[in-house]
Amino acid sequence: MTVRRAEPRDADGVLALLAGLGRPAVADDPLSQREVFAHHLTDPASAIYVAEENGQLAGVASLWFRPRLNWTTREAWVPDLYVDPAHRRRGHARALLDACVAAARDRGCHRLVLESGHDRTEAHGLYEGYGFVHGGRAYGLPLG
């Protein structure tokens, strides 16, 4: 298993993995989804990591570096982390988190936060075992 930065050739595989999160698609048009992926690859405030096993994408994590008003350093944020069920319990999620932590430290971030759906209890156990602390609730207001 290897973890590396995502490349343009990974678009379809990453988008297929992210569908496993059960969220609405970025757009009905696959071309638009690929454009969003391409933007993430080139945005200096963003990184996408993929875990590969035997040449197949097994997992993905997206990472953003965002400013906070009450800090002089950026906060690293993982809005998306997903490992295909066929590849779970092999260390992929931990390796993806390790890559995110290393990148956050390299950028001088004061902390790394992530989001996880209420129903993803298996993932919650992984995050807490990794050292994350449940620190509050996240709310979303649909605007469209």
CB-based burial of residue 105 (10 Å sphere; 0-12 exposed, 13-18 middle, 19+ buried)?
A: exposed
Domains of the chain plus CATH, in order, are 2-130 (3.40.630.30)
Average pLDDT of the residues in 121-130 = 92
- This prediction's pTM: 0.90
Task: Specify the pLDDT at position 23.
Answer: 67
**60-64: long-range pairs with CB below 8 Å, 24+:** 60/6, 60/14, 60/17, 60/18, 60/96, 61/96, 61/97, 61/99, 61/100, 63/100, 63/103, 63/104
Per the prediction, the chain carries an average pLDDT of 91
pLDDT at 127 over 70: yes
Residues 90-113: what's their mean pLDDT?
97
pLDDT of residue 142: 77
Closest C-alpha among 142, 101, 137, 98 to residue 118: 137
What are the tens digits of pLDDT across the range 8-58? 999 999 999 988 887 666 556 656 888 889 999 999 999 999 999 999 999
Look up residue 24 and give its DSSP letter. P
121-130 vs 92-106: helix crossing angle, rounded to 10: 50
With pLDDT > 70 as the criterion, what percentage of the chain qualifies? 93
What is the percentage of the chain residues whose pLDDT exceeds 90? 72
- Residue 118's pLDDT band, with cuts at 50, 70 and 90, is confident
Q: What is the pLDDT of residue 7?
A: 97
* Residue whose token pair is 């391409």: 38
Query: What is the three-class DSSP state of 5?
Result: strand
Backbone angles phi, psi at 71, to 5 degrees: -135, 150
